[in-house]
Amino acid sequence: MRVVSAIVAVLLMAVTSQAQAQFNGQFRNDAQFWDNRGWDNRDIMGGGPNFFGGGGASPIPREMVMYPTRYAPGTIVINTAERRLYLVLGGGEALRYGIGVGRDGFRWGGVHRISAKREWPDWTPPREMIARRPDLPRHMRGGIENPLGARALYLGSTLYRIHGSNEPETIGQAVSSGCFRMTNEDVVDLYNRVSVGATVVVMN
């Protein structure tokens, strides 16, 4: 009986190892497929070579800070020079998050309102981006592979969003085409705290 059990255990180990090897090989092939397309997700919405590898904690942890301001509680203030986003809480305090901002030539400023909120949003590259990158897909369903991440907050009628990302190591960098990116963990936290209609002040 012990001999039979040992044989069964060996066979199970062999099958498991083969399945794992096939899975790893398929994952590498899928990653190579995207690499061969010439995609640079940093140029799209701020992704990178590990875009499909999952999320993680932000290198710039969110924290409560003193923030005297004239803006009303619930206002989002984005400081692109600091690469920080502040959610005004009132009483001279704010929640501060690390963000990724637009690279040179794509940073901007102004005042808008959150016009929509989406969970695991679909992504349709705007015409301007397609003109720069004709190899991009015309539409991507929402999900873990989508460059917009777990949540998106749409800024008025602009092409820009505050959205999630699976590349936490790029938070604090200037990597996007004008959108503001956060870790999925942070963007979910912000999403749950603000409403459609909230003011967003972008300081460039």
- Do 70 and 16 belong to one domain? no
C-alpha distance from residue 64 to each of 86, 93, 187, 198 (Å): 9, 7, 16, 20
Per-residue confidence (pLDDT) for residue 109, from 0 to 100: 93
- Do 68 and 146 belong to one domain? yes
Q: What is the mean pLDDT of residues 179-186?
A: 95
- Do 105 and 133 belong to one domain? yes
- Do 3 and 92 belong to one domain? no
Token pair of 35 as six digits: 């690499």
User: For residues 92 and 100, is the Cβ–Cβ distance under 8 A?
Assistant: no
Q: What is the pLDDT of residues 5-27, one digit of tens each?
A: 444 444 444 444 444 444 333 33
pLDDT over 80 at 181, yes or no: yes
Per-residue confidence (pLDDT) for residue 17, from 0 to 100: 44
The whole-chain average pLDDT of the chain stands at 77
- Do 56 and 92 belong to one domain? yes
Overall domain count for the chain: 2
- Do 50 and 107 belong to one domain? yes
Q: What is the mean pLDDT of residues 106-130?
A: 87
Strands (E), the chain: 63-66, 76-79, 84-90, 93-98, 101-102, 110-119, 151-155, 161-163, 174-176, 180-181, 199-203
The catalytic site residues sit at 163, 179
- Do 27 and 84 belong to one domain? no
- Do 10 and 91 belong to one domain? no
3-state DSSP call for residue 96?
Answer: strand
Instruction: Identify the residue whose tokens are 């963000």.
Output: 99
- Do 16 and 70 belong to one domain? no
- Do 95 and 18 belong to one domain? no
The CATH number of whichever domain residue 94 belongs to comes to 2.40.440.10
Q: What is the pLDDT of residues 45-89, one digit of tens each?
A: 443 333 334 456 888 999 999 999 999 999 999 999 999 999 999
The closest of 107, 102, 101, 67 to 87, measured between CA atoms, is: 67
- Do 16 and 95 belong to one domain? no
Q: Cα(41)–Cα(29) distance, rounded to whole angstroms?
A: 18
- Do 134 and 162 belong to one domain? yes
Residue span of the structural domain in which 138 resides? 41-203
Better pLDDT: 127 or 30? 127
Of the segments 33-47, 64-78, 170-184, which one has the largest average pLDDT value? 64-78
- DSSP class of residue 104 equals T
Per-residue confidence (pLDDT) for residue 42, from 0 to 100: 42
